[in-house]
Structure formats: structure tokens, C-alpha cells
């Protein structure tokens, strides 16, 4: 007589779980379910569908060895189960953490995004450009004007001090018409700001009116205005003078607070809604997974 366990299963007799054992008696095989010391006879092997009873097929080793193996295997199973449980819990916690992270980022983004959108829409047209020129003596002034659209201008000198004089555009035009200077006028985009070198000898009448002692000067220039810049004192030779401009927004180009806000708010909501849904799903999913792993 030999007996072998073929795995764990649910007993059709009593409904409890046990080892499914096949006993060989007189050349015939019979199926039993063993609950500790209690054996329940199920029936001859050829009349029983063992697969219906079996839950976890293991080995087909002889019973004695199988029993010890089974005890060991059950321990292993318990360990695997608790390991699996831990893995599931870790995954659940990661889901909750990622969800919470996305949620916080989304809330944070929704607070700062209006500012970002506003900054972006303004800075996207404020493209600063400029040019630098060498200054070798103090006999030249620079006439700056912006006849197409108003512009903000930043003037900076290196190793030189300059004076300035604001004049109306028509004065600037008469200076331009009268000048003998062969030096080219420079156009600076995007405002189409123009810088023309003028000999100071040609604007003698204005020289007394120049004022200041600057190394840096910022001004907003309208289309009917012009600015004369005169580097009157050099510390090194050559020194340099730089002009930077950024096109300033005017009139209808400026973002209108009343129309701009609702637009950007709905834009922000639409762009953030999928992330909110994802974040909440992750948190709920992680929580449910965690509870499931605890109950198991
Ligand atoms: Zn039973």
C-alpha cells in the first residue's frame, strides 16, 4: 500500500480544505482528503475528477516525504503570501504617494499658472535686441528714434559716461536732413528703433542742453520723440556704447484683464482636469489595493 499527496484541495465531503491523497490498495487507486489526522474517503480515482478538488497541485511524492515537504511548503506559502502582501502594500502606498504628488503639483500649478501665462504672453513679444558700438572720441552723439511704434530703450556704456537730451521727432528729422555724417543708421528690431551717429559739430546749438552723467539709462520712447545720447567722457579708448530695445505693448496688444482672466482660468481648468482625475484615481486605487491586501 502506498499513498501520495497530489496537492491541497477542498473536500467534497465536509467542505474544508485538506491534502488530496491518492492511496493504492490492491492495484486500485482511491482518493482521500486528509484534514490533519482525519481522512475523508472521496472515491475511486477513475470515478473522481481530481482537478475539481485540487486547488494547489504540488508534488506526487510518497506521502511520508510529502507530509514533511507540505509542512515546509505551507510555511513557504505563508512566507510567499506575506511577501506578496508586502509587495502589494508597497505598490498601493506608491500609488497613493504618486497620486498625492500629482494632486499637489496640479494644485500648485493652478495657483502659479495664471502668473506664468500672463508672464509668457507679455514676455513673448518683449524680445530684447540691441547693438554695441565702439567710442573712440567725444565728437559723436547718437540720435535714437522709433518712428514706427513706441519702444523701451536701455542705453549702457562701458568705460564711458554719457549725457542725454530728449527732443521732438521733428527736431530729430531736421538734424537728420542737415547732417553730413556718412555713418549708417542702425535699425534694431523688433521695434524698428533707429540709431544714427551725428557729429556734435552739427548740433552745436543743442550741446549746452545735454544733461546727466550716465553709464546706464532707460527710457520709453514714443513715435513723436527722439533721444540724443552723447558720450562726453571716456575712461579708456576705445570705450563702448550699447543700445537694447524691447518692443512695448500698446493699446489692443495689451492683455485685457477682464477678457484675459476667464479665458486663462478655463484654459487652466481644461489643461489640469485630466491630471486631477488621474491623481484622484491613483489615490483611490492605491487605497482600495491597500485595504484589499490587509483583508486578505
Ligand atoms: Zn473532509
Cα Dmax for the chain: 134
178 pLDDT higher than 70: yes
* Portion of the chain with pLDDT greater than 70, in percent: 77
Dist CA 147 CA 192 (whole Å): 8
pLDDT digits (tens, 9 = 90+) for 264-276: 666 667 777 888 8
Cα 16 to middle of ligand 1, angstroms:
6
For the chain, the average pLDDT equals 80
Q: How far is the CA of 15 from the centre of ligand 1 (A)?
A: 6
Q: What's the CA-to-centroid distance between 263 and ligand 1, angstroms?
A: 71
* Ion ligand 1 — residues with CB < 5 Å: 11, 13-14, 33, 40
Q: Where are the domains of the chain?
A: 2-60, 81-125+251-296, 129-248
CA of 41 to the centre of ligand 1 (A): 8
Q: How confident is the model at residue 42 (pLDDT cuts 50, 70, 90)?
A: very high
Going from the Cα of 75 to the center of ligand 1, the distance in angstroms, rounded, reads: 22
Residue 50 CA, ligand 1 centroid: distance in Å: 14
Grid coordinates representing 86?
A: 508586502
Dist. CA 19 → ligand 1 center (Å): 10
Q: In the predicted model, is pLDDT for residue 55 greater than 80?
A: no
- Grid cell 477513475 is found at 46
Q: State the distance from the centre of ligand 1 to the C-alpha of 123, rounded, in angstroms.
A: 80
Q: How far is the CA of 33 from the centre of ligand 1 (A)?
A: 6
Distance from the CA of 13 to the center of ligand 1, in angstroms?
Answer: 5
Top pLDDT among 230 and 264 is at: 230
**Which pLDDT does position 64 carry in this prediction?**
46
Asked whether residue 25 carries a pLDDT value surpassing 90, the answer given is no
In angstroms, what is the span from residue 27 Cα to ligand 1's centroid? 24
27-33: long-range contacts (C-beta < 8 A, 24 or more apart)?
32/3, 33/9
Phi, psi of 246 (to 5 degrees): -135, 135
Whether 21 and 6 have beta carbons less than 8 Å apart is answered as yes
Distance 192 CA to ligand 1 centre (A): 96
Distance 79 CA to ligand 1 centre (A): 26
Is the Cα torsion angle 214, 215, 218, 221 positive or negative in sign?
positive
Stretch 210-234: mean pLDDT:
92
CATH 2.60.120 fits 129-248, yes or no: yes
Ligand 1 centroid – CA 45 distance (Å): 16
Tens-place pLDDT, residues 58-96: 555 444 444 444 445 555 566 677 777 788 889 999 999
- How far does residue 8's CA lie from ligand 1's centre (Å)? 12
pLDDT value, residue 128? 55
The per-residue pLDDT for range 270-294, each reduced to its tens digit, is 777 888 889 999 999 999 988 888 7
- Say if pTM beats, i.e. exceeds, 0.75: no
Ligand 1 midpoint to CA 102 (Å) = 52
Amino acid at each position: 500500500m502506498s499513498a501520495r499527496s497530489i496537492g491541497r484541495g477542498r473536500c467534497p465531503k465536509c467542505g474544508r480544505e485538506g491534502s488530496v491523497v491518492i492511496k493504492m490498495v490492491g492495484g486500485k487507486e482511491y482518493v482521500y482528503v486528509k484534514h490533519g489526522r482525519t481522512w475523508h474517503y472521496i472515491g475511486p480515482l477513475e470515478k473522481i475528477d481530481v482537478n475539481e478538488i485540487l486547488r494547489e497541485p504540488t508534488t506526487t511524492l510518497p506521502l511520508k516525504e510529502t507530509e514533511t515537504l507540505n509542512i515546509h511548503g505551507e510555511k513557504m506559502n505563508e512566507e510567499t503570501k506575506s511577501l506578496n502582501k508586502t509587495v502589494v502594500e508597497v505598490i498601493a502606498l506608491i500609488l497613493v504617494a504618486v497620486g498625492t504628488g500629482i494632486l499637489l503639483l496640479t494644485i500648485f500649478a493652478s495657483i502659479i499658472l495664471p502668473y506664468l501665462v500672463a508672464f509668457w504672453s507679455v514676455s513673448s513679444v518683449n524680445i530684447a535686441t540691441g547693438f554695441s558700438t565702439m567710442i573712440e572720441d567725444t565728437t559723436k552723439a547718437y540720435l535714437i528714434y522709433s518712428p514706427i511704434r513706441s519702444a523701451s530703450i536701455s542705453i549702457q556704456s562701458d568705460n564711458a559716461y554719457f549725457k542725454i537730451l530728449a527732443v521732438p521727432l521733428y527736431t530729430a528729422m531736421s538734424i537728420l536732413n542737415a547732417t553730413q555724417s556718412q555713418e549708417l543708421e542702425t535699425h534694431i528690431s523688433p521695434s524698428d528703433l533707429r540709431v544714427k551717429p551725428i557729429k556734435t559739430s552739427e548740433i552745436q546749438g543743442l550741446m549746452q542742453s545735454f544733461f546727466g552723467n550716465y553709464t546706464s539709462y532707460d527710457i520709453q520712447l514714443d513715435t513723436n520723440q527722439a533721444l540724443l545720447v552723447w558720450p562726453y567722457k571716456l575712461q579708456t579708448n576705445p570705450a563702448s556704447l550699447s543700445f537694447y530695445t524691447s518692443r512695448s505693448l500698446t493699446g489692443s496688444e495689451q492683455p485685457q484683464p477682464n477678457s484675459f482672466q476667464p479665458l486663462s482660468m478655463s484654459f487652466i481648468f481644461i489643461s489640469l482636469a485630466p491630471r486631477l482625475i488621474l491623481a484622484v484615481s491613483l489615490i483611490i486605487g492605491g487605497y482600495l489595493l491597500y485595504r484589499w491586501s490587509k483583508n486578505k
